[in-house]
Amino acid sequence: MRELKRIERCKLIDLPQIADPRGNLTFIEGGRHVPFEIKRVYYLYDIPGGAERGGHAHKELQQLIIAMSGSFDVVLDDGYATERLHLNRSYYGLYVGTMVWREIDNFSSGSVCMVLASTLYDEADYYRDYDAFLRAAKGKA
């Protein structure tokens, strides 16, 4: 069987929803709804119009990206293919695996981007230079 490309391992995860006239509820359990134990949570907010975030890849880190409020686009790039996804529901999580370059843009006003992460923050885990990422992703590093 053909091995999946890294970008094909990224996927939208349909999170559980408990519908209620008082307001809906969604929950996420590490190792169950996301394929990793959750070590860290961070969120982007007060995002000015036209801002772009991301612009890096990770060696080991896996993440789940959720539009908690409003919407934004995530552009994924594994060095071979790119894909732009629009996130606009708080019950969808975008799973992003290792060695995938991501950029986040097109934030709507007041949007909040929450990220569940598989590791603690470690700057050594980042590729912040796109050419260095490409060399590593294509196995030339």
In whole angstroms, the minimum distance from the beta carbon of 11 to ligand TYD comes to: 20
Between 19 and 120, whose beta carbon lies closer to ligand TYD?
A: 120
Cα 10 to chain centroid distance, Å, stands at 9
Between 40 and 89, whose beta carbon lies closer to ligand TYD?
A: 40
Q: Which residues are near ligand TYD by CB under 6 A?
A: 40, 42, 44, 53-54, 56, 121
Using DSSP, state whether 96 is helix, strand or coil: strand
Q: How many CA atoms lie within 13 A of 28 on its CB side?
A: 25
In whole angstroms, the minimum distance from the beta carbon of 126 to ligand TYD comes to: 7
- Is 56 a catalytic site residue? yes
Between 45 and 121, whose beta carbon lies closer to ligand TYD?
A: 121
Which has the closest alpha carbon to 137: 84, 86, 98?
Answer: 98
Q: How far is CA 42 from CA 63, 113, 141, in A?
A: 11, 8, 30
Active site residues: 56
